[in-house]
């Protein structure tokens, strides 16, 4: 059975691991991202009047579980607004708090959102996001849309990651990255092993989308695969394509 490193945060790892099991892989869970709520961001969000924005942009499924876990009163205020999502992955979270999802791009990425979101002059969007968000509000101004980035959490690297990686790394065949932060945290925690990604000595990195891909390239990793859809199913499909459906030339040689 092929060992695959699942790097999703602890609260999100189970779903991906179950999917890996169903496809015949052995999931190894080592979260490379620990989500920490920014108290200043929460305070700002609580103080904001609902009249100051028309809708909520959620670019990651990471935030709502943090707010739900602490039973944040601000959730009720947010639920009354329209929600714009980067992917369907967070849709059930929004609907669970009573929110209405008004837009999800077909291409589940920031780039897809930029291209597909319709022009709506005067629309004011509050983007509740990570401290390391890549969304540039200037790109929406030409469509008459004002976007305000409000950092709400930061993706820390969990303690003890290096010692865990030391144990499992030799057996790994692939590493699944669901964010650019996961890539960056791996290189921070264990640079020596991280540099073997995509080489004969290391596992194959699989990126969920542009953010993780850009982080891999920034670290000099060029041999990787990117999922066609930015979700767990896309990650596993990319894994299957590599390990369960080898190229035709390999089949003919065997």
Q: Give 135-146 as a 3 state SS string.
A: CCCHHHHCCCCE
Helix/strand/coil for 57: strand
pLDDT recorded at residue 158: 94
pLDDT recorded at residue 98: 95
pLDDT recorded at residue 245: 66
Q: Quickly list H helices, 70-179.
A: 74-79, 91-96, 110-116, 138-141, 161-168
pLDDT recorded at residue 248: 42
pLDDT recorded at residue 77: 92
> Which of 216, 247, 241, 217 lies closest to 227 in space, CA to CA?
241
- Alpha carbons 34 and 252: distance in angstroms, whole number: 45
Q: Could you say which architecture CATH assigns to the domain 35-154?
A: 3-Layer(aba) Sandwich (3.40)
pLDDT recorded at residue 246: 52
**Residues of the chain below pLDDT 50:** 247-254
Neighbours of 126 (CB within 10 A): 22
pLDDT recorded at residue 57: 96
Q: Where are the domains of the chain?
A: 2-33+158-253, 35-154
> Which of 4, 3, 12 lies closest to 181 in space, CA to CA?
12
- Alpha carbons 130 and 117: distance in angstroms, whole number: 21
Q: CA-CA-CA-CA torsion for 142, 143, 146, 148, nearest 10 degrees?
A: -80
Whether the domain at 2-33+158-253 and the domain at 35-154 fall into the same CATH topology: yes
The C-alpha angle with vertex 120 and arms to 114 and 122, in degrees rounded to 5, equals 115
Q: Could you say which architecture CATH assigns to the domain 2-33+158-253?
A: 3-Layer(aba) Sandwich (3.40)
């Amino acid at each position: 059975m092929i060992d695959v490193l699942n790097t999703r945060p602890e609260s999100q790892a189970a779903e991906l691991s179950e999917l890996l099991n169903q496809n015949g892989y052995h999931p190894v869970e080592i979260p490379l991202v620990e989500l920490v709520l920014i108290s200043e961001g929460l305070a700002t969000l609580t103080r904001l009047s609902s009249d100051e924005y028309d809708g909520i942009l959620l670019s990651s499924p990471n935030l709502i579980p943090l707010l739900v876990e602490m039973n944040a009163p601000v959730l009720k205020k947010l639920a009354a607004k329209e929600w714009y999502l980067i992917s369907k992955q967070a849709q059930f979270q929004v609907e669970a708090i009573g929110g209405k999802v008004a837009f999800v791009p077909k291409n589940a990425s920031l780039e897809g959102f930029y291209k597909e979101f319709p022009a709506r002059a005067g629309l004011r969007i509050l983007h509740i996001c990570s401290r390391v968000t890549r969304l540039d509000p200037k790109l929406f101004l030409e469509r008459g849309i004002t976007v305000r980035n409000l950092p709400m959490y930061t993706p820390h690297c969990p303690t003890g990651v290096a010692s865990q990686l030391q144990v499992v790394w030799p057996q790994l065949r692939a590493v699944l990255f669901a964010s650019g932060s996961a890539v960056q945290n791996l290189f921070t925690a264990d640079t020596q092993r991280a540099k073997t990604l995509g080489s004969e000595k290391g596992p194959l990195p699989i990126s969920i989308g542009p953010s993780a891909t850009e982080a891999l390239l920034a670290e000099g990793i060029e041999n990787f695969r990117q999922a066609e859809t930015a979700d767990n199913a896309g990650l596993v499909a990319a894994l299957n394509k590599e390990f369960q459906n080898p190229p035709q030339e390999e089949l003919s040689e065997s």
